[in-house]
Structure 1
Amino acid sequence: MRSMKSLLIAYGAPYAVGVILAVGLKYHYSVSGSEDLRWVLSPTAWVVQRLTAISFEWEEHTGFVSRSHGLIIAPSCAGVNFLIIAFSTLYFTTIRLMPSVTWKGLWFGVTLGISFILTVGVNGLRIVAAVSLYQADIYGGWLTPERAHRIEGTLIYFSALLMAYQVVTRAVNLFISRGPVKASRWSLLVPFLWYSLIALGIPLLNNSGLRGEIRFIEHGFLVLSVCAGVLIVVMALFFLFRSAAIRIGVGRKNGKRPQGQLQCH
């Protein structure tokens, strides 16, 4: 029988390490300025520059600045919250499938790397979309630039999280745990719960959301509405594709010629 110590190392330690990293990133982001966040601001600015040909200059205590376009990639644009969401979603939902402590340690680094690359790429795309959206002539009444920016950011972030979750979990099931890859539309609720917990739940727990109660309620409503809309669309597509696959499978089965039976023409 395995000792309590070995059980804690095998099962408890990987989760504890993940929690420490997530909490540490959150704390680091809350107390850091642009210089401390350059590790994520620099690659983000590089992605935006490659996608748009907008040139940026580093400015102390500010971030990456493009004076010709009036654009600043500041700490608020770093995407660290999404990095925490992506890491938590991918790591905590798959770590139990790793076959050994060594695999769990390797998977910690792999999911952190995937989450960082995903964050930089998606955040760069979000900033590019935000620049185009800000210049669009669509504002008036309820739709303000701030609300449009929040909707656009949530739409891009959550859609990317859904896709990453599906790809990573299927890859883990296929290549590591070697279990059956079961496509379930309800599994899409996992990234939704993680996104909601970190984007909305944590601000509520530390009372930062309550300081501007009305604004936070509106923010939460927009975030949940956009995420729910994305989920509905994806689940509907999932249902349509699955129904089509079942019909194709039934059609092939019905059209299969029985063995040993001659077919006359």
Structure 2
Amino acid sequence: MDVHTNKRSSKKIIDLFSSLLYHLPFLCIGLGIKYFYSVANNEQLNFILYPTHLLVEMWTGSQGIFEAEKGYVFSLLGICIDKSCAGLNFWVIAFLSGGFAWAMRNPRLKGLPFYLLFLLCITFLITIFTNSSRIFIAVISLKTFPNLARLTWFHEALGTFVFINALLLFYLGISYFINKVQFYRLNLKS
């Protein structure tokens, strides 16, 4: 009986260690992005601000001009896309959510580098689309409800609504993808 207890406790320790090893890369990347964001300026965040501004330009038909201190200024719309509008917090949350979704269904280290790269890319693209959508909805709100849209709480509530719904859809989508991958693997083994 004592031998079985030792085997079970050894397995629990190994499982815990494996789980920590699995989550560590996700946490390190997430913390790295957060640190970078805390020290970066508009020019250093141009990799995410530029594509966001392009989508906003396409959807609104208004041109944004980059100014290092202000970010992308849309003078006709009366908005500015800068560091605070970059969407990096959303990117980190989406990335970590996808990492934990994968860990809950497939806590193996095999395939982890591929999944990390895939998740970084897909969450980056989703962040750009979601953030651009949030800004576009804010522009429409500003035109439709000028008095309400200028209030800080309305702007923040609108952003929260868009980001939470996007995170929910992303999580459902990534869970579906993970289930399909597992189903495919099981059918290959049969």
TM-score scaled to structure 2, two decimals?
A: 0.81
* 1:78 paired residue among 86, 99, 112: 86
- The one of the two structures with greater contact order (alpha-carbon pairs below 8 A, sep at least 6) is 2
2:181 alignment partner in structure 1: 175
In the other structure, the counterpart of 2:35 is 27
Residue aligning to 1:251: none
Do the aligned residues in 2 keep the contact of 1:14 with 1:105 (CA within 8 Å)?
no
CA drift at 1:138: 6.4
Q: Describe how 1:214-225 pairs up with structure 2 within 5 A.
A: none
Label 1:8 to 1:108 Cα distance change in 2 as closer, same or farther (>3 A): farther
Shift of 1:56: 1.3
Q: C-alpha deviations, 1:206-245, integer Å up to 9, x for none? A: xxxxxxxxxxxxxxxxxxxxxxxxxxxxxxxxxxxxxxxx
Checking the alignment, whether the CA contact within 8 Å between 2:19 and 2:107 is kept in structure 1 is no
**Matching of residues 108-147 of structure 1 within 5 Å:** 108-137=116-145, 139=147, 145-147=151-153
Paired with 1:137 and 1:125, the residues of 2 have a C-alpha distance of 17
TM-score w.r.t. length of structure 1: 0.60
Larger helix fraction of residues: 2
CA distance in 1, matches of 2:17, 2:58: 44
Q: Which residue of 1 aligns with 2:66?
A: 58
Distance 1:89 1:111 in 2: 10
* 1:145-195 CA distance string (max 9 Å, x none): 21111111111110011011111102201223669xxxxxxxxxxxxxxxx
CA RMSD of aligned residues (A): 2.7
Where 1:69 maps in the other structure, the secondary structure is coil
**Residues 11, 150 of structure 1: alpha-carbon distance in 2 compared, 3 angstrom cutoff:** same
| Contact kept in structure 1, 2:142 and 2:150, CA below 8 Å | no
Q: Report how many aligned residue pairs link the two structures.
A: 176
Measured after TM superposition, the shift of residue 61 of structure 1 is 2.3
Structure-2 change in CA distance of 1:116 and 1:103 (3 Å): same
The answer to whether 1:149 aligns with 2:149 is no
CA gap 1:137/1:8 in 2 versus in 1, 3 angstroms: closer
Question: SS at 1:102's partner residue?
Answer: coil
Deviation at 1:14, TM superposition (A): 2.7
* DSSP 3-state at the match of 2:44: coil
Q: Partner letter of residue 30 of structure 1? A: S
Cα separation, partners in 2 of 1:96 and 1:178, compared to 1, 3 Å: farther
Indicate if the aligned counterparts of 1:99 and 1:177 stay in contact, CA closer than 8 A. Answer: no
Provide the rounded CA distance (Å) in 2 between the counterparts of 1:96 and 1:177.
15
The alignment-based identity, stated in percent, is: 27
| Residue equivalent to 2:99 | 91
Contact 1:122–1:160, Cα closer than 8 Å, also in 2: yes
Q: Who is 1:158 aligned against?
A: 164
- Opposite residue 41 of structure 2, the aligned amino acid is G
